Amino acid sequence: MDILNKIKEAKLVGRGGACFPTATKWSMVHDAPGKEKYIVCNAAEGEPGIKKDGFLLEKYPERVIDGINIAIKFLKAKKAIIYINERYYKKYSKNLLNIIGNKKIEFFIKPHGAGYIGGEESTILNAIEGKRLEPRIRPPFPTNHGFFGVPTLINNVETLYNVSLVVSDDYEKTRFFTINGDCLWTGVYEYPESYSVEKILKETNNYPKFPFFVQIGGDGSGEVLNEKQLKRKVTGAGSITIYSIMKHQPKILIKNWFSFFMNESCGQCTPCREGTFRLVEIINSRNPDWNLVSDLLLTLDDTAFCGLGCAVSIPIRSFINNVLPLYKQNKIILKGDKKKICECF
């Protein structure tokens, strides 16, 4: 059985957020020089609003372990490490250990306070090696220079679950979606990956009857869309969070996004460390300089060391461009005319 071809034919992509072709990543590790190779299953799940990996560890642990074991055999790996957040470890490790048995799989608990950046793949390697929790310079990439310098495959929980389905011919091109926010039926749902945001909300009886907008892909770095933009597929790690326009004030939302990135910054690079701090400072000022906000976001896009810094602009720009114009002027608690604010972006 040619596992790599099966994964390629299934067009399987990573479900951790980047959507990188799974077969390509497996091939890169397989072809990398060196006899010793490792596998890391990323169960950190540090992006706010994402709950699907925990759901899989609870409902389908056998499939997840099977996917890891398939990777071990394919790569002839020395061992696999499940890099897991502390909450999931406490809830699911006992059952997982029973399933693992004598397989070459062990746990590493995500360090306390590692947060969002603790789930970035090169930061994971630093954590396991006992180094500072910060991203590595790339290249070299983990696929050829990963855990202690040897080729390492890093896939998230849902990706490895899907590998198990593909190999057993049970994969039906579905994915898991986490629904949060101002709705009745929050939770994790499985639907075809081709479904649009609108279709998923309607299928789950979560399509609001009030003016709303959504954030897709994660409550920190996800893109914000208005009601007329919901024909699109869900991106990133597969979450949909619903916000009532009547309930959520623009300044509070923007402040929360900026604060999240400032608090989660590892401090390694100046653009992210200083830029996120300045953005929080500006939004808390009496008269925010929106041109300066836009310039700082552009600087982060171009110069931040890792994906966290580059993601700061995603929720802010999309919110201001797609949603802010929908607010009535007298409902906006922001200094400055909303038209002028939008023009800055």
Question: What does DSSP assign to residue 300?
Answer: H
> How far apart, in whole angstroms, are the C-alpha atoms of residue 232 and residue 288?
33
Angle value at C-alpha 123, between 189 and 218, nearest 5 degrees: 30
Per DSSP, the three-state class of 289 is coil
CB burial class (10 A; 0-12, 13-18, 19+) of residue 169? exposed
Pick the CATH number of 250-343 from 3.30.70.100, 2.60.40.420, 1.20.1440.230, 3.40.190.10: 1.20.1440.230
In this predicted structure, what is the pLDDT of residue 334? 67
Exposure string (b/e) for 222-232, b if CB count within 10 Å is 16 or more?
A: bbbbbbebbee
In this predicted structure, what is the pLDDT of residue 253? 94
In this predicted structure, what is the pLDDT of residue 332? 62
In this predicted structure, what is the pLDDT of residue 79? 97
CB burial class (10 A; 0-12, 13-18, 19+) of residue 112? exposed
What residue spans define the domains of the chain? 3-167, 174-244, 250-343
In this predicted structure, what is the pLDDT of residue 335? 64
| Pair type for strands 174-181 and 187-192 | antiparallel
In this predicted structure, what is the pLDDT of residue 167? 96
- pLDDT tens, N- to C-terminus, the chain (345 residues): 589 999 999 999 999 888 899 999 999 999 999 889 999 999 999 889 999 999 999 999 999 999 999 999 999 999 999 999 999 999 999 999 999 999 999 999 999 888 888 999 999 999 999 999 999 988 999 999 999 999 999 999 999 999 999 999 999 999 999 999 999 999 999 999 999 999 999 999 999 999 999 999 999 999 999 999 999 999 888 999 999 999 999 989 999 999 999 999 988 899 899 999 999 999 999 889 999 999 999 999 999 988 888 999 999 999 999 999 998 865 666 666 788 888 888
- The DSSP code sequence of 217-286 is S-TTTPEEEEGGGTTSBP-TT-EEEEEETTT--HHHHHHHHHHHHHHH--S-SHHHHHHHHHHHHHHTSS
In this predicted structure, what is the pLDDT of residue 1? 57
Q: Which CATH architecture has domain 3-167?
A: 3-Layer(aba) Sandwich (3.40)
Residue type, 208: P
CATH 3.10.20.600 for domain 174-244, yes or no, is: yes
In this predicted structure, what is the pLDDT of residue 323? 95
> CA 283, 287, 290, 293 torsion: positive or negative?
negative
| This prediction's pTM | 0.93
